[in-house]
Amino acid sequence: MTSQMRAEIGEQPDALGRTVGALLPRLPEVAELARDTRQVLFIARGSSDNAAVYGRYLVEAHTGRLSTLAAPSIATAYKRRVDLSGVLAVAISQSGKTEEIVETLDWAAAGGARTVAVTNGAGSPLAEAAEVALITDAGAEIAVPATKTYTTQLAALSVLALGLGADVAVDDLRRVPDEVARLIALTEASPALEQIVEALAQVPGAVVSGRGIAFGTALELALKIKEACYLHAMGLSYADLLHGPIAVVDEQTPALLVAADSGPTLPGTVALARRVEGAGAHAFGVGGGEGLAEACTAALPGPALPEWVAPLGLIVPGQILVENLARRLGVDPDVPRGLNKVTQTD
């Protein structure tokens, strides 16, 4: 029986096509809003926070603007005013109804920031609070684990970066929907999928690692493993992993390594896979081309996209892996225990 999560994974090419088509015409609006700003502040929680990590690396690597992740508790718990003049505050929420995120965006505006919302909730409190609302067109998402709402957030952040003057080609973004459709078919036909699922079903957890623009993908995959499969999963930059936590990687704790098929962090990811395998543990790859696949026990294909936009496809094999692993473990991936579609925090 097909899960709702799997059905929504399959809806991503259409959702991405609609979102990219709707948001690219708004590039001048984004550019005008950001004209007098010099840095970007991302406000988010959960999967949206992982999308924000992608946005941070993308903006810093390709627009030359300093970007940071907000600590919403400064606004909501400590209630401290911060001078945010010259800041573009970007709040990300799938539903647009998380009160903490709306309150933090209002706080940013009171501190002098210009404001943008990225949300799937047209007419939501977050969309209404922002000066510019980039509404994703994912459609209704029923399964609790975010799939199409997450990838369409990444698409919106790609448009944001283009509006900020990113030194990338817009046609790369237009290719994403077709590439995601191809990647879904490739992943489900890959013999590595069953091999990795079976290996992860035998262990209590895993380390998930990537770096740079792929780091947000590693964090998102780790989150999905935890929330949908109830396994321990530690999401780390491979630079941080090498500073000590690599000691936890062993026969009972494999490493899942994610990387685009090109870019400056790929050689380090391949080297980490070789180190893990050399220590007698298993490394499983997601993306990274032939180099990473050859260094790993098994690997799932990645998108044939340049690094800046690769995360829009790179998470998709991970989503399919998680959905298959959840069912292998006897877990309903659509309704993880203790979770709701909209999470409210203090």
Encoded tokens for 49? 């926070």
Could you give the CA distance from residue 242 to residue 209 in angstroms, rounded to a whole number?
A: 10
- Residue in the block written with tokens 């790609």: 158
* Element containing residue 93 per DSSP (H, E): strand 87-93
Could you give the CA distance from residue 264 to residue 93 in angstroms, rounded to a whole number?
A: 30
What are the residues facing 259 on neighbouring strands? Answer: 287
Could you give the CA distance from residue 50 to residue 161 in angstroms, rounded to a whole number?
A: 16
Residue of 148, 224, 226, 341 with catalytic role:
341
Strand, helix or coil for residue 230: coil
Could you give the CA distance from residue 171 to residue 208 in angstroms, rounded to a whole number?
A: 30
Give DSSP secondary structure letters for 110-128.
Answer: HTT-EEEEEES-TT-HHHH
For the question of residue 226 being annotated catalytic, the response is no
Active site residues: 341
